[in-house]
Chain A
Amino acid sequence: MADQLLDQVREAAEGQIDFKGQELAELLATILLAAVGVISFVVGFINQDIKLALYLGLGGTALTLALIVPPWPFLNRHPVRWLPVGGVEKKSQGIMMDGQVIA
C-alpha cells in the first residue's frame, strides 16, 4: 500500500516525457536561452540600461524554465509503442548465453 502510494508520487514528481519530446525540449531550451541572452545584451546596450538587461535575462529564463521543465502535453505526443507481450518473441533468433536461449 505504502509502496504503491510512493510509486504514484514518484510518477507524478518524475514527469517523464517521450524521446521525441526530449529532443524537442533540449533544442528549445538551447535556442530560447541563447536568444534571451542575445536579446538582453542587445536591448540593454542600445538603451544603455543594465537593469533592463538583467530583468530581461531573468524573465526570459523563468519563461524557459516554465516551458521546458514541467511535462507539458506537447512534449508527450509520441509515446513509445511497445511490441505486444509474447508477440514477436517466437520469431526471434534467440540469444544464446551459457548454452541457454534467454531471449
Chain B
Amino acid sequence: MLSALQNPRQAAAQLLNFGLILSTAFMMWKGLSVISDSPSPIVVVLSGSMEPAFQRGDLLFLWNRNLMEETKVGEIVVYNVKGKDIPIVHRLVRKFGLGEEAKLLTKGDNNLADDTELYARGQDYIERKDIIGSVIAYIPFVGYVTILLSEHPWLKTVMLGLMGLVVVMQRE
C-alpha cells in the first residue's frame, strides 16, 4: 500500500492491469452477446423451479438466433415478463402458430402448474420477443458465488477484510 504511494509508476501499472482485466471481461461478455444475439448470453439459475435439471447457482449459456429452425416446444428458454426484473428459466410446453406471433406457454419442470400465473395480468401466453435466449450449454455450480454475495451482503465485508489483512501482512 505504502510502496504504491512511493512508486507512482508501479501504482499506475497496477491500475492499468486492473483496467485491462475489467475491459477484457466486458469485451468478452459483449462479444458473446453479439454472437448469440442475446442481451444476456450467460445467466445464473436463481430458483429451483427447473430441478433436477438446474440447481441454484448453475451457469447457463444462451442462444437467441433461429438459424435452422424456430424456437420449439421442449426447449428451455429464458424470458422476461413485463413489470418483473428477474428473467425466468422454464421449458416451453405449448406453441400455437408460427414466427413472431406464435403464442408460447412455459412451465418449470419442478412446478405442478404452467406459468400462466407468473405472466403479467391478463397475459395468457408469451411471444418470441419476450425470450432472451434458449439454453444450449450448462456448467454446474460455478455461479453460486454471485448468489452467496447477493443474498449474504456481510460476505462482501468479510472478503474486503480478508483482502485488507493480506495487504497488511505483506512486507515491502
Contacts and interface: CB of A to CB of B under 8 A. Distances in A.
* A and B assemble together: yes
Interface of A: 7, 9-10, 13-14
Interface residues of A, dominant DSSP = helix
Interface residues of B, dominant DSSP = loop
Interface in B153-172: 169-171
A2 to B, nearest CB: 13
B114 to A, nearest CB: 32
Contacts of B171: 7, 10, 14
A11 to B, nearest CB: 8
Contacts of B169: 9-10, 13-14
Contacts of A13: 169
Contacts of A14: 169-171
A10 B167 CA distance: 11
A14 B165 CA distance: 12
A45 B171 CA distance: 47
Contacts of B170: 10, 14
A7 B171 CA distance: 8
Nearest to B165: A13
A40 to B, nearest CB: 16
B1 to A, nearest CB: 14
Nearest to A11: B171
Interface string B107-120: 00000000000000
Nearest to B140: A54
